[in-house]
């Protein structure tokens, strides 16, 4: 996945590696099923990683 270009970067884990994406890419990953309920995501300003929910 290309590096996120928006000012708001999200991070997620894929195969044990942390990846970066912008909000639109996160939405696309959820819609495609690559990120599912239970996948952890995080962005600056959050205290902890949160569970993605479609």
Q: Is pLDDT of 41 > 70?
A: yes
pTM score over 0.85: no
How much is the pLDDT for 6? Answer: 54
In this prediction, residue 21 carries a pLDDT of: 97
pLDDT higher than threshold 70 for residue 1 = no
* First-to-last C-alpha distance (Å) of the chain: 20
pLDDT at 14: 86
- The sheet carrying 50-51 orders its strands as 17-21, 10-14, 40-43, 50-51
Domain ranges of the chain: 10-51
């Amino acid at each position: 996945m290309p590096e996120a270009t928006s000012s708001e970067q999200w991070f997620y884990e894929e195969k044990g590696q942390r990846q970066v994406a912008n909000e639109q890419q996160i939405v696309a990953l959820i819609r495609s099923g690559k990120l599912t309920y239970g996948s952890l995501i995080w962005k600056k300003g959050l205290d902890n990683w949160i569970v993605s929910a479609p």
